[in-house]
Structure 1
Amino acid sequence: MTSSTPRIAVIGAGPAGLMCARVLQGHGVGVTVYDADAAVDARDPGGTLDMHADSGQIALEDAGLLDAFAALARPEGQAKSRRDHHGTVLAQFTPAPGDEAAPEIDRGQLRRLLADHLRPGTVRWGRRLVRVSPVGAGVHRLEFADGTTAEADLVVGADGAWSKVRPLVTDAVPHHLGVCFLDARFDDVDTRHPGVAEIVGDGHMFANDNDGRAVIVQRNSDGVVRGYIAFRAPLDWHEQAGVDLTDRHAVRAFLAAEYAHWADPLRALVTGNDSDYVPRAFHALPAPLTWQHVPGVTLLGDAAHLMAPFGGHGANLALLDGAELAHAVAEEPSLDKAVARYEPHMFARSGNLAADANQALTRFFATTTPDAPHLPPDHAEEHRRYVARAAEYRARRAETAHTEG
């Protein structure tokens, strides 16, 4: 950047926004992050994330946080198994010793790790953005629900699926992918739910039938397993079925009937949870998604390329988005040139991955015949690709730095 001091506002203190702020501060660039949450741990952040060597881990390295991440991460959590609804194991993957291509970390741990390594006061908690308006020359006015306002020379939309910033650059909106799910939790799983612990193992277990139903369970830290009971359904499925989502027993009775043909050990994942059921749904933006550059605004993460969670690319791309935008802001002579450098690379990196993830989800939940199953990926080969692409990325960046130097 030139010697002027730009006003940079990041909307959203998720992984993308926090990463962007951390790397900006590492370059000595000032930034303010605004988030609607009252605090970093004000809500349940969800389950676990795998940090890929070719994206999320590169961003963490850029932020100087790779060692801190490694202290929290679970390489053993890379283990995966696939079963049919009878409980028959169809495929298994156990990471080899030293395999750290995609170790797991709880979402809440990652968010706190990033937030704790920002300068005090960087994040303005409890600031829900309600409106952002251009005022000229690339400057935008931010209006928050508490009545406060601010102006920024660059507004970075890291505010997720339902971004308030996105309409400034595109009229694209998320669409429902036809799959809904219920998030459930099992606590002190090794003691209280040994059957669940055995099925999930150290990492993930996926099971599905031929009628668009699935159960996905993930080992988290502190003896917790998160379960996702997923099925093809419209957004208002519970209204059509007459199910009160706030009534755990009513939801459980509905699921018991829906999954009655599943084996008993797998049905325990559907009806034996300790928590209430939290309804969620899969949405995605059109993919690949691009837009024409708009002065003074850009997007990161889900705001830019919301996709199905298959492959675990969303959070990893979000982190790399944040780091790369920050590098561009620090290294280019103007904010406009920084965004013009960042966006084409972000489009190219995310577009095909988003399209592939959305198609994978559709295939996984499709009604199939027993002789034409949706086959699981080769995770060992997937890990080799992460490591190879990480080496290629670093080589390209080193070559670019050498050429520019």
Structure 2
Amino acid sequence: MKSQITNALSDFFFEYETPRQVLVRNRRVGVVCRLIQLGVLAYIIGWVFIYEKGYQSSDTAVSSVFSKMKGVGYTNVTGTERIWDVADYVFPPQGDSSFVVMTNYIITEGQKMGNCPELPGKHNCSSDADCEGGSFKRTGHGQMTGKCVNTTKTCEVLAWCPVEDDNNIPDPPLLMSAENYTLFIKNSVTFPLFEVTRSNLVEGIDNNYISKCLYDQEDSPLCPIFKLGDIVKMSGFNFETIAKVGGAIGIVIDWTCNLDFNVKHCKPMYNFHGLYGNPDEKDKARASVGYNFRFAKHYMEDKVQQRTLLKVFGIRIDIIVQSLARKFDIIPTLTAIGSGVGIFGVATVVCDLVLLYLLPKREFYKNMKFKYTDTQTQK
């Protein structure tokens, strides 16, 4: 018994078993096998290693964006001249990655709390019975008092009076000068896996360069200062059209870096996308065209609280950072090679199926490939 166990262990540790191979001389099967192997090899080299870069590990960045607008706007409405600076036309003013630049507006000055008639079309009436006191209308400006104003044939409301009339949007836009505003973008990214930190103010971009440069896709692709009119144009929009009722533009900062090369080659690329407000769209067929919001400036006059209400039409800019860094790593390299070697087995499986089930001499090949033994019943 002990001898049998010793022999079994010896056979297990000191013997090597190899599968039996049969060399088949068949041109069709040989060509099929080599074509499949060639296809697998092309897939491994072309797709896995060259296109997908399967020999590298990848990481996405943690990023931060700071923005700053510069420029002065001018308006002359009914003889009233006004200068608009950054504090007036950028919302919010903190330099976020998402902000709005005002390009058009409707202003309602001297509003104070009181009773006044609604605008025609908001809540028309012919008698007090049509105006239910204490109720609200979703598109109205305040709470109905229960009275019908005969001069306007609309319900009286408790609201900020006079109520805003936004039916007539200024055309051309009041702040067409916004086309010449400039936007400065400062962006930094960190790839934690590779411990690499980069900024869009790359090598060669200093204070002297920034003070003179303006972004151009061909001549100055790394300049971080952009003219608003150029941003709109590169997004596929017409400035006057989008400035009238507003819209949205996405600025994508693309960090696609191959860290197998010197880190100085890791540089950003800027892309511009029109999100909505495109003049090619059928604006008349769509609801809620453009981009707008309201804000009020409150003040006291003769101990009465008053406000100036502005309905702002503007260009919303969203700065989006997308990133992907790659670097050589032995683990994904070995994984890619191992999976590729395994795929080579597909050629053997396909050729075996052709030999054993499709060729006229399949029975002959079966006898050559497999060795059969008779099962004997032990008496």
> Computing the radius of gyration over CA atoms, which structure comes out larger, 1 or 2?
2
Query: What's the TM-score bracket when you normalise by the shorter of the two chains?
Result: under 0.3
Between Structure 1 and Structure 2, the one with more strand by share is 2
TM-score (norm 2): 0.24
Between Structure 1 and Structure 2, the one with more helix by share is 1
TM-score (norm 1): 0.23
